[in-house]
């Protein structure tokens, strides 16, 4: 059981790295001059493919956390 969960954890972590790397950056050069106020007040919801990537990242992160906790529980028994 431990080996199967560890293999799934490795696959999930690889997918998580790829998904995070695919996300577009949201920084611009002017944000250092404005103090980031444009990010605070000008926040827009992600749409389309970007929203899909965010949703997949949250799901994979949750699965990663759950598998990590399960492996820790199994290793202590």
Q: Is the pTM of this model over 0.85?
A: no
Q: In angstroms, what is the C-alpha Rg of the chain?
A: 18
Q: How far, in Å, are 29, 45, 66 from residue 50 at the CA level? A: 21, 10, 24
24: left (phi over 0), alpha (psi -120 to 50) or beta: beta
9, 11, 37, 58, 74 from 2: Cα distances, Å: 10, 14, 47, 24, 7
Q: What is the pLDDT of residue 40?
A: 58
Confidence of residue 41 (pLDDT cuts 50, 70, 90): low
Cβ(23)–Cβ(50) below 8 Å: yes
């Amino acid at each position: 059981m431990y080996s199967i969960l560890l293999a799934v954890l490795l696959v999930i972590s690889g997918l998580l790295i790829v998904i995070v790397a695919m996300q577009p950056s949201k920084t611009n050069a002017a944000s250092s001059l404005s103090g980031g106020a444009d990010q605070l007040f000008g926040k827009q919801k992600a749409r389309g493919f970007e929203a899909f990537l965010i949703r997949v990242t949250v799901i994979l992160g949750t699965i990663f956390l759950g598998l990590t906790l399960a492996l820790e529980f199994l290793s202590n028994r």
